[in-house]
Amino acid sequence: MTSLVIESPDRLPLGGLLALACAGFITILTEAMPAGLLPQMGEGLDVSPALVGQLVTLYALGSLLAAIPLTLLTRGWRRRPLLLIAIGGFALVNSVTALSSHYGLTLAARFFAGVFAGLLWALLAGYASRMVAPHLQGRAIAVAMLGAPLALSLGVPAGTFLGTAVGWRLSFGIMTALTLILLIWARWQLPDFAGQSSEKRLGLRQVLTLPGIRPVLWVTFTYVLAHNILYTYVAPLLVPAGIDAEIDRVLLVFGLAALISIWLVGLLIDRWLRTLVLISCVLFGLVALALAFWLHSPWAIYIAVAVWGLAFGGLPALLQTALAKAAGDSADAAQSMLVTVWNLGIAGGGLAGGLLLQRWGVIAFPWAVVLLMVLALSKRP
């Protein structure tokens, strides 16, 4: 399998890259499914919907706490067995979630799901980049990252529909079955790579001081913080235009635009990496300005959301490619930092958005995003 990659330097190993994308898809779907099944899971576990919501919180906490230490601990391990362990962990935790009738046990399963997710996301970009020649690394990472927006735009609504139709326990059981199929596919399609030798391993501070690492992490934090201020509170954002009942359509527009963005980024990333990051930040800033001035116009909202999807969809691939190129042999350690910073941005966006909403209302959201995009552009990769 490794020889196939070496003999075909101008072709993407799509079988292996799509296996990585499916791993990302299952990761995001596992994270987000409880949010769409709050009443059913609350009834099944005999707890309030607010407590079911903490299943998402524990997942994020697991990723936040585990990504860096687990990645550093396993740098010497061979890559394919480690990736298979991370994927297999989802089969285990989703099985526990499907069978558990105890809220505490379900919380523990969700925490460890986050742990496996933190490890998996730290591995994906570096794995994809090692499967291809250097001039195709950006495109390979873009394909491997395809699972996340697909899960958010199509998988989560489908998972919610499935949970409503067949029950949330069977839904998580189906996730386990899909994960077991993915394990077989990944073992078949993915080449194996050696871990990093001890003499080549850099400490966390050394990785952080490599040229280009800190600017990428800064853009990641400011952009994800801004994105989640809007995305977390998209429902109240739609109220002034009177389209809060159309939230499913608005999010579908965002998701479809994000998929187009990933396709475009995949075509251009290896030639125009820095330019695409700049365009993404500028577009998102312009979206925020449009929302600030035309927040009461339904058409302006839909157009702004479409442009927002175009700006954001390819961003993970852009940032992970920039980080992988800057980190070199320490790509996995650098990616674990990105996972941690990304989760901090998600948590910070929810907190900051709540404070802004309470103090000034939704009109404060666009101006906060504009400020954060100015800060992001000050240190773009």
Radius of gyration of the chain (CA): 20
Average pLDDT score over residue span 2-24:
73
- Same domain for 313 and 257: yes
Q: How far apart are the first and last CA of the chain?
A: 34
Cα dihedral 112→116→119→120 (10° resolution): -160
Confidence of residue 225 (pLDDT cuts 50, 70, 90): very high
* Longest CA pairwise span in the chain (Å): 61
Q: Does 10 score more than 70 pLDDT?
A: no
Phi and psi dihedrals of 193, rounded to 5? -135, 150
Any idea what the CATH number is for the domain that residue 313 is in?
Answer: 1.20.1250.20
Give the DSSP per-residue string, 128-139.
Answer: HHHTS-GGGHHH
- Same domain for 188 and 213: no
3-state SS assignment for residue 194: coil
Q: Report CA-CA distances (Å) from 221 to 24, 70, 300.
A: 20, 21, 27
CA distance 236 to 244: 7
CA distance 247 to 105: 33
pLDDT value of position 256: 86
- Same domain for 150 and 276: no
pLDDT value of position 373: 96
CA distance 361 to 364: 6
Phi and psi dihedrals of 90, rounded to 5? -70, -35
Is 282 exposed, middle or buried, given 0-12, 13-18 or 19+ CB atoms closer than 10 A? middle
pLDDT value of position 2: 40
- Same domain for 130 and 46: yes
Q: Each residue of 225-235: b (16+ CB within 10 Å) or e?
A: bbbbbbbbbbe
- Same domain for 352 and 222: yes
Asked which of 144, 174, 200 is the last residue of a domain, the reply is: 200
| 182-196: pLDDT as tens digits | 999 999 999 999 877
| 153-208: pLDDT as tens digits | 677 677 777 777 888 899 999 999 999 999 999 999 999 998 777 767 777 788 88
| 252-311: pLDDT as tens digits | 888 889 889 988 998 899 889 999 999 999 999 999 999 999 999 999 999 999 999 999
- Which phi-psi region, left, alpha or beta, contains residue 361 (left: φ > 0; alpha: ψ -120 to 50)? left
Confidence of residue 6 (pLDDT cuts 50, 70, 90): very low
Average pLDDT score over residue span 223-235:
88
CA distance 126 to 323: 10
- Same domain for 231 and 169: no
Closest C-alpha among 338, 59, 365 to residue 207:
338
Letter for the amino acid at 131? Answer: M
- Same domain for 213 and 149: no
- Same domain for 123 and 47: yes
pLDDT value of position 235: 80
Q: Each residue of 49-65: b (16+ CB within 10 Å) or e?
A: eeebebbbbbbbbbbbb
Asked which of 200, 218, 240 is the last residue of a domain, the reply is: 200
Closest C-alpha among 118, 132, 116 to residue 15:
132
Q: Each residue of 145-176: b (16+ CB within 10 Å) or e?
A: bbbbbbbbbbbbeebbebbeeeebbebbbbbb
How do the residues of the chain divide into helix, strand and coil, expressed in percent and rounded to 5? 85, 0, 15
| 52-83: pLDDT as tens digits | 877 877 888 888 888 899 988 998 899 999 99
- Same domain for 38 and 81: yes
pLDDT value of position 31: 83
* Full residue range of the structural domain in which residue 332 is found: 204-377
- Same domain for 209 and 82: no
Specify the DSSP class assigned to residue 330: G
| 319-363: pLDDT as tens digits | 988 998 888 878 888 888 998 998 888 888 888 888 898 889 999
Average pLDDT score over residue span 358-377:
94
pLDDT value of position 3: 37
| 91-128: pLDDT as tens digits | 999 999 999 999 999 999 999 999 999 999 989 988 99
- Total domains, the chain: 2
- Same domain for 174 and 27: yes
- Same domain for 117 and 15: yes
pLDDT value of position 380: 61
Closest C-alpha among 181, 52, 23 to residue 116:
23
Asked which of 155, 177, 200 is the last residue of a domain, the reply is: 200
pLDDT value of position 381: 62
Q: Does 1 score more than 60 pLDDT?
A: no
pLDDT value of position 137: 86
CA distance 209 to 222: 19
